[in-house]
Every structure is written in C-alpha cells, then in structure tokens.
Structure 1
C-alpha cells in the first residue's frame, strides 16, 4: 500500500473527523459554478458599464478634442437648464403612452379572438406573430417607403378619393405613424403571451359562471382578467421598458422631426453623444433614462398588490 493510500484509509477510519466536502458543500459549489457565467456576464456588461456611465457623466469628454476633464455636477446642471429636455420628455411620454395602450389593448383583443375554437385561427396567429421575427431595420425601412407622400398608404387612400398627408413630415401625424409602426411590429409577442395565459384559465370556472347566468362581459371581467393579471403585469413592464428604449424607428423614419416632435430621450442621447460628441452630457442623459426606467418599473411592481391576482 502506498503512503497516499495509507493516509486516505487512516482519514476514513479516524473517528470524529468528518470530510470537508460534505454533500451540502458540494451542492453549494455546483450551484455557484452554474451561476458563474451569468454573474460574470452581468458584472461585465451591466453593472460595470452602469458605473462607468455615472463616472463619465461627471466629466466633459470630447473625443475629437481628446479631452477628458472632471466637471463634477456641471452636466447635471446643464441637464436641468437644457431648454430641449421638456420637449424631449414630452415626446417620450407621448410615444410610451401611445405604444403601451395600443399594444396591450390590441394584443389582448387579438388573443381573446384567436383563443376561440374556430377554423383558421392558426393562420391568423402566425400572421400577427410573423412581424416579431422580421428584422427591425427592414421592417422600419419598408414602412418608411409606405408612409411617404407618394407611398403605398396614400396610394391606397387615393382609391377611395382621400388625399393622405405626408405622414412622416407632418407634426400631427409623425408621432402617430411611429407608434403604429412599432405596435404592428411587436403586438404579436404580447398576443402570444396573452394566448398562453388564456389557455391556462380553468374551463370549470367558465362553466360555473355560465351556469349562474353570468354574461360574457361579466365572465371576462370577473374571471379572465384576474387570472391573466400576472401576464398583464409582465407584458406591461416589458412594453414600458421597450417603449423608453426605442431608437431605430425614430432614426430611420423621422430623425426626430419634424422639428423635435418625435425626438425621444434615447434619440436625443444619441444626438448629444455621437453627433455632437458630448459624451459626458450623453452619459448624463443615460443616467436620467436609467432612473426613469427604474422608477416606472418599481412603481408597476408596487402597484401589482392592488390588481394582480394572488398578490393582495
């Protein structure tokens, strides 16, 4: 017997000396090893960039002039005094409210209709979901051509004797056009989530309600909505956060115009940082965007106790 084998046998036979690698410690180590890749990714691509953005917001960084000067709270003072910020926040709010209301409302209506056991529902499910898998840039470029003054939308309206406007160059229709394009792009995703939630509602509850003489609206309001409310919370958080991060649609369709009527916060951030090369002020706008997203997400999460089923 070798010396190593002798020591191992002695350790196994020695009373009162439990092994360090117990089952509990091995389970903990296995769990830590599994979460390590995700944790490293989160630190490298989420937490570290967030800290760096805050650090950059305290500096005046001009890449062209090769300057990186500490200015303290000067960028935040500039943000408070910027005359464009109120208009940018107003455009951001209009876009977000319009997108959230239309997207969630239309997705819920489509899910209820396509949850019926009728012929052809599979075709329409695929039809409404297909824009989700289409490239965002390609989708936006095509709609840009359709919404031009002599584009497909106005060509269709002319068949009915209607003279359509230049949708993307008119202050009254530009924001509506961008919202509608985005709604058509992503409504299928929320529709599928609502469909999954609707199919998880026990049919016994519907049968009991119909036996008691409840109408369709009562059944929908008293049974369907409460039971799918967790999914409504999920889709609302995803849609709100997504609406505050929109960039490609604005950049391709309107470039923030006409004027600044469609200049949302992310596009304004892009202009300051990458067009005017004011990376310090752009980082300050990024901090503002982060705080808005965080505040709205926390608000929705806290309000869930009032209307989400099983959360009261």
Structure 2
C-alpha cells in the first residue's frame, strides 16, 4: 500500500512538471558547466584549424590584394621546397636537444632539491625565477651576453679562454639557443618533478635500503616508475613547446647563420609575414600541426610500455 502511494505521488509530480524532470535538469547543469570549454575549443582551436586548411588551398597576396583558389599547389610546393629538409633538420635538432637537456636537468635538480638540506628553498626560487621573466626581455639580455664581446666571452677571457662568436657560427648558434631556452624553462619542469617526488612513499625507500639497494637502484627501480606519469606529462609539454619556438630564434639568430637555426615556426613566419605568401604559410602551419599531433599521439600510445600502472 505504501509503495503504491509513493508511486502515485511520484507520477503526479512528474505529470505536473511535464518534460522538465530532475534528470533533464541535471543534464542541463552539466552542459552549462562544459559550455565555456566547448565554446573556447570551437572558437580558438577548431575554427582556426579549419581556416588554416582553407587558406592552405588558396594563394593570398595582401600587397597585390589577390585571393585565389590554387588547390593542392601549396602542398606540391611544400614537397618540392629545397629549404624544407633543412628546416625540418634544424627543428629536429633543436627539439631533441631541448627535450633531452631540459628533462634531464629538471629531474636532476628536483632530486637534489628534494633533499632536506639547508638553503634548498633559496635554490628552488633561484631556478624557478626565470620562468616568470618576460620571454622577450630574457632573450634580449642573453643576446647581449652571447655577442663576441659580451659577458660570456668576458668571463671566459678572464680564465684565459677565447670564446667563439656564439650566435654567428652554426653549431654554437644552435647550442646557444637551446641553452637559453633550457635555462628559461627548466624551473617549470623542476617544480612538477618536485611535486611528484613528494608523493613517493618513503616506506619504499626504507624497505629498499634494508634490502641493500644502492642509491642508483632506488632511483631506477622506485623513483622513476613512481613519477613516470609526471615524466609523461612534462615530455608531452616540452616536445610540443619545442616545436613552437619562435621568439628566441627571431631575437637571437634570425634563423642564421644560413638556415642552421631556421626552425619550422620561424620559416612559417618568413613565408607568411616577410614574403607575404600566406597560403604557403598556412600550408606550413598544417605541417606543424600534423607533426605535433603525431608526436603527441606517439608518446601517449607508448605510455603503456613505461608509465607505471598503465595497461
């Protein structure tokens, strides 16, 4: 009898509310919460991508005020462009050097600064402070320091070493740009690794020490597996960021000497905004998107092999 009365009352309430049920109200609340993110993705991610693909099928010359459909001509030009292999090689060298040095140094600093020693707070602040400095200001200062008569060579000369013209020779120019970028952003990955290290249970280290495991064994068998999700996160962020570097190249080397430091984004800028080939610049943007997407998906798929507790 009681169940029958409750069912009748529920039916009466549903009849009064019509289609506006509690379930629909909950769904609406959920949609409203995700609406800003969806709108932002549509306006600032998917719409620009669609426009890039549209422009890549056209040739747009702002100076001549012409805009015409050329089909796949820009993509054929991309395959025949003799500078593209050099640009991709410089991009690969920069990205590989930056990712390896940045992640290795950030992890080393995080392990050292996670020790309970005096002065670690000061060093954490010191290493993280470049992250909050303006990128352009940071790069301009380093441009002065790396000149032939700049501060770096002055320090080397003080100890009897004659430094090279860092930004005007191929190998040292690429190494200099990588070093400037590493010092600028290593603090961010260091902080992420520090947070991950604090989450590793101390009992695991104590048990390994009692079993006779050395420092390297504890690091390789306990630390790295436990912080591997953070390693995955930092690697994806660093790889994607390294492929989109622009300000450092524009300020320090302008892609030179020759094309030794002309990475893909800077070459895109040259084609679109210096030579006014906006259609070809959009084609290079599409190439950059494909490369970033492919590397991100590859890292995400490989996580099952080395990220702890992934299957």
Same fold per TM (> 0.5)? yes
Determine the C-alpha separation between the residues in 2 that align with 1:182 and 1:171.
17
Determine the C-alpha separation between the residues in 1 that align with 2:236 and 2:103.
11
Determine the C-alpha separation between the residues in 2 that align with 1:16 and 1:300.
50
For residues 38-67 of structure 1, give each alpha carbon's deviation from its aligned partner in whole angstroms, at most 9, with x where no partner exists. 211111111001001000000011111111
* Cα distance, 1:211–1:263 mapped onto 2, change above 3 Å: same
The normalised TM-score by structure 2 is 0.95
Q: Which secondary structure does the structure 2 equivalent of 1:68 belong to?
A: strand
| Matching residue of 2:26 | 27
For residues 119-157 of structure 1, give each alpha carbon's deviation from its aligned partner in whole angstroms, at most 9, with x where no partner exists. 000000000000000000000000000000000000000
The normalised TM-score by structure 1 is 0.95
| Matching residue of 1:263 | 262
Q: Which secondary structure does the structure 2 equivalent of 1:69 belong to?
A: strand
| Matching residue of 2:95 | 96
* Cα distance, 1:15–1:144 mapped onto 2, change above 3 Å: closer
Q: Which runs of 5+ in 2 are unaligned?
A: 1-8
* Cα distance, 1:17–1:116 mapped onto 2, change above 3 Å: same
| Matching residue of 1:228 | 227
Determine the C-alpha separation between the residues in 2 that align with 1:228 and 1:280.
44
Deviation at 1:17, TM superposition (A): 2.3
| Matching residue of 1:196 | 195
Q: Which secondary structure does the structure 2 equivalent of 1:251 belong to?
A: helix
Determine the C-alpha separation between the residues in 2 that align with 1:223 and 1:200.
12
For residues 222-281 of structure 1, give each alpha carbon's deviation from its aligned partner in whole angstroms, at most 9, with x where no partner exists. 010000000000000000000000000000000000011000000000000000000000
Give the root-mean-square deviation of aligned CA atoms.
Answer: 1.4
Report 1:81-160 matches (<5 A): 81-160=80-159
The aligned length equals: 302
Determine the C-alpha separation between the residues in 1 that align with 2:12 and 2:124.
68
Deviation at 1:14, TM superposition (A): 4.3
Q: Which runs of 5+ in 1 are unaligned?
A: 1-10
